[in-house]
Amino acid sequence: MSAEHEFEDQTEAALQDINKKTGRNMPQAVLTAVVLIAIIVACLLIRTDLFVYLIIFFMVLGLWELRVDFATVGLQIPVLALWLCSVVTLLATYYAPRHLLATVLCTMGSLLIVVLAASTKLTMGNRLTVAVASKLDTSSLGSARQPVQPDGHGLGHASLSHVAVSVFTLVYIALLASFLILPETFGGHPVAHAILLIFIPALSDTGGLFAGAWLGKHKLSPRISPKKSVEGLIGSMLFAMAGAFAVFAFTYGDSWASHWWVPIVMGVMVGLVGTFGDLCASMLKRDMGIKDMGHLLKGHGGVLDRVDSILLCAPFMSGLLWALGM
């Protein structure tokens, strides 16, 4: 065997080992991440409104993913009502003169609409059934199960169960995503706020991924997520701190010297909350017997697999930025 072939075999073996430790196809994951970063940065550089529309677009996709995921266990959410309520809430959060009040009022109205819609058991026809069957066929956790009817009658779910998961979906998507938009409306640093809200949790995930893959020995929660480790959690915090320091230094210049501690607090907070969000998502997927929320993002799974920690961190980071007047 030539030296070139030997090097290729060693590289492939190392890559397979990394893929096994991370639970992802890393080349695909990196390429997808680069494309997403380019799209987000382009939207921010062109106009903040485009960033808002991008959030809305991804949340619409995320709602469909949850629609299919819940349907695999016979639970139904009113996706049309959720689409409408989420879009209205997110647009009102950005464009209304009183942004936070608009978020609160739209969320309250959406709760009423979604609860009523969830009680009617409308279906999406054959398209949902096909999507559910495909989901179960491709899921390593759920491949042994048979597709269920999307109305949930086959599993004996009460109407209250459909209402409960619908309300959860509204809070998870529309309300949490509103906190991704609110920081664009105060402080005078919309681009910096957007970068903090989107890229710091993503950077934290990356730090946790690599630290856990190369250094992880102490399991954080083996029952819920076997690949999570204490070392990965520490890596998440350190990467988030480094990213926050960089953003603060480039954005606020000398004026943030009195707030030098904020990136440290933000890094710890994002590491803890983001990891908690990942564990909650893992527990939800495990209960439903699926591996990923979706398949739209190569190497990452679905949209919600990529943004679960971002969504959960959003209210905490927004609150911190608002409280500091930044």
| Each residue's pLDDT tens digit, 64-119 | 888 888 888 888 899 999 999 999 999 999 999 999 999 999 999 999 999 999 88
Q: Is 179 helix (H, G, I), strand (E, B) or coil?
A: helix
Answer yes or no: is 14 within a domain: no
In the numeric block, the tokens 């990136």 are attached to 263
pLDDT of the residue at 289 = 75
* Longest CA pairwise span in the chain (Å): 70
- Predicted TM-score (pTM) of the model is 0.79
In the numeric block, which tokens belong to residue 264? 């440290």
Q: Which residue has the higher pLDDT, 54 or 301?
A: 54
Q: Which residues of 4-38 are buried (b: 16+ CB within 10 A; e: fewer)?
A: eeeeeeeeeeeeeebbebbebbbeebeebbeebee
Find the mean pLDDT for residues 245-257.
Answer: 77
What would the mean pLDDT of 298-325 be, rounded to a whole number? 83
Task: Pick the more confident residue, 3 or 43.
Answer: 43
Integer Cα distance of 186 and 99 in angstroms = 10
Each residue's pLDDT tens digit, 230-245: 788 888 899 999 999 9
Q: Does residue 304 carry a pLDDT above 60?
A: yes
Predicted confidence at residue 88, as pLDDT, reads 96
H or E segment and range at residue 227? strand 225-229
Select from 81, 153, 85, 64 the least CA-distant residue to 118.
81
Residue 9 lies in a domain: no
Query: Cα separation of 292 and 260, whole Å?
Result: 38
Q: Considering the domain boundaries, does residue 260 fall inside one?
A: yes
Residue 69's Cβ-side half-sphere holds a number of Cα atoms within 13 Å equal to 29
pLDDT of residue 5 exceeding 80: no
Q: Is 246 within a domain?
A: yes
Q: Tokens in use for 81?
A: 């009502």
Q: How many domains does the chain have?
A: 1
Domain membership flag for residue 5:
no
**305 in Cβ contact with 28 (< 8 Å):** no
The larger pLDDT score, comparing residue 124 to residue 76, is at: 76
Measured in degrees and rounded to the nearest 5, phi and psi for residue 228 equal -75, 135
Q: Give me the residues paired with residue 229 across strands.
A: 219
Most confident of 144-148, 188-192, 220-224: 188-192
* Residue 312: per-residue pLDDT: 92
Instruction: Assess if residue 2 is contained within a domain.
Output: no
Contacts (Cβ under 8 Å, ≥6 apart) of 24: 209, 299, 300
Of how many residues is the chain composed? 326
User: What per-residue confidence (pLDDT) applies to 131?
Assistant: 58
Q: Compute CA 315 distance to the chain's CA centroid, rounded to the nearest angstrom.
A: 13
Note the pLDDT of residue 142: 45
Least confident range of 24-33, 50-59, 125-134, 162-171 = 125-134
Q: What local confidence, expressed as pLDDT, does residue 7 receive?
A: 44
The residues that bridge with 219 in the sheet, in sequence order, are: 229
> In this structure, is residue 8 part of a structural domain?
no
Query: What are the residues whose beta carbons fall under 8 Å from the beta carbon of 227, sequence distance 6 or more?
Result: 21, 22, 23, 212, 216
Q: What is the mean pLDDT of the chain?
A: 79
Q: How confident is the model at residue 125 (pLDDT cuts 50, 70, 90)?
A: very low
Burial pattern 237-247, b for ≥16 Cβ within 10 A else e, equals: bbbbbbbbbeb
pLDDT at residue 29 is higher than 70: no
Given a cut of 60, is residue 13 above it in pLDDT? Answer: no
**CA–CA distance, 206 with 236 (Å, rounded to integer):** 7
CB 134 within 8 A of CB 85: no
pLDDT at 62 over 50: yes
For residue 76, the model assigns a pLDDT of 87
Question: Which domain covers residue 228, as residue numbers?
Answer: 22-324
Which of 51-60, 144-153, 202-211 is the most confident on average? 51-60
The total of other beta-carbon atoms located within 10 Å of residue 145's CB is 14
Predicted pLDDT of residue 155? 46
CA-wise closest residue to 162 among 76, 74, 67, 68: 76
The pLDDT of residue 19 is 52
| pLDDT score recorded for residue 274 | 86
Q: What is the mean pLDDT of residues 269-295?
A: 79
172 within domain boundaries? yes
